[in-house]
Amino acid sequence: MNLEGLDIDILGPAFCAGLLVLSTHVPMGRQVLSRGIVFIDLAIAQIAGLGVIAADAMGWAPQGYAVQIAAVSAALLGAMLLTFTERRWPQMQEALIGVLFVLAACAGLLLLSNNPHGGEHLKDLLVGQILWVSYKQLIPVALLYAVILALWFTVRARLGPIGFYAMFAIVVTASVQLVGVYLVFASLIIPALASRFFSSRSQLTIAYIIGVLGYALGLTSSAIFDLPSGAVVVWALALIGIVLASRSKLTRSMPLSPGEVARDQDRSNLNRNIGQVSIDGGLDRHRLATKSEGSENVTSD
């Protein structure tokens, strides 16, 4: 245990970076869950990371504008591809997202195969270096997220799938370079998932609370016990989500998603139709039997 690790000059920027990531990922995570495309975050993040790796392989300066353009371009191309697949094969979208993630991850490994520092680059991409973030790095990200949030809460419904995927790609690209792939995924999914055990009116607020507490607990714990910050924050998010969800009155009756409601309605309609067919079939057999008995009575007379 090392209380000297609680340095506000290090933890302050890291916590602010977490708050910025949560500001966009919490509402987007709820949308991702409702659309049933949970692994899109990993896929887009991996594609953005592939852009960074490709830029590094070409010798471009780290943190330069060329690297940012490469990462955003790769993420937007991935978003355009996913928009096309959603329109063409919507029933296979989740599987296609998984395939895209694996392909991007393997492409990154191939590009790093001859790099003597490839293992370190890959670790930074996945786990991130949140403790090395500075306030100066957060200013352009904060401005970008402010624009995205304004669009998200005002005109998102009118932008359609392509608008959703484009905004998602831009946000994830910025977030990955701040906190890494694992924390981006955890920030997107865990708060949104845990908040589903609460009433719809309080879900967004609960999700933000889970995220803020998770980053606060994770960063302080990693500093005190000298553990990797990204991994500890992921576990802190999960534990706080579990604790709050377990105390919800709706834990035993989690609300269904629109897709689940539609499937239940289809199942009920199918059962109703089957029951009606059975009743109609029974009535028809009864009429035939009655008619047959009447014919036999006439014959015997």
Q: What is the pLDDT of residues 84-107, one digit of tens each?
A: 888 888 888 888 988 998 999 899
Per-residue pLDDT at 52: 83
The answer to whether residues 175 and 260 belong to one domain is: no
Q: Tell me, what DSSP letter sits at residue 248?
A: S
Helix-, strand-, coil-residue percentages of the chain, each rounded to 5: 85, 0, 15
> Do 273 and 176 belong to one domain?
no
Among 135, 150, 182, identify where a domain stops.
182
pLDDT of res. 190: 95
Domain that residue 84 falls in: 3-182
Together in a domain, 153 and 284: no
Q: Both tokens of residue 232?
A: 């500890």
Instruction: Please tell me the predicted confidence (pLDDT) of residue 17.
Output: 95
Average pLDDT, the chain: 82
Report H helices in 36-134: 40-57, 65-88, 93-112, 118-127
What CA–CA distance (Å, rounded) separates 278 from 273? 9
Q: Is the pTM of this model over 0.85?
A: no
Considering only CA atoms, give the Rg of the chain: 27
DSSP assignments along 210-246, one per residue: HHHHHHHHHHHHHHHHT--HHHHHHHHHHHHHHHHHH
Are 275 and 147 in the same domain? no
Please compute, for residue 133, the number of CA atoms within 13 A of its CA located in the half-sphere on the CB side.
Answer: 33
Q: Do 264 and 148 lie in a common domain?
A: no
Is 188 inside any structural domain?
Answer: no
**Position 79 in a domain:** yes
Q: What is the total count of domains within the chain?
A: 2
**How confident is the model at residue 163, as a pLDDT?**
87
Q: Contact at 8 Å (CB) between 237 and 214?
A: yes
Q: What whole-number distance in Å separates Cα of residue 248 and Cα of residue 296?
A: 68
Q: Is residue 251 part of a domain?
A: no
Residues of the chain whose pLDDT is less than 50?
298-299
Say whether both 22 and 106 belong to one domain: yes
Q: Would you say residue 65 lies in a domain? A: yes
pLDDT at 298: 47
- Does residue 260 sit in the same domain as residue 178? no
Domain boundary at 129, 151, 182, which? 182
pLDDT for res 259? 55
Q: Which of 182, 203, 228 is the last residue of a domain?
A: 182
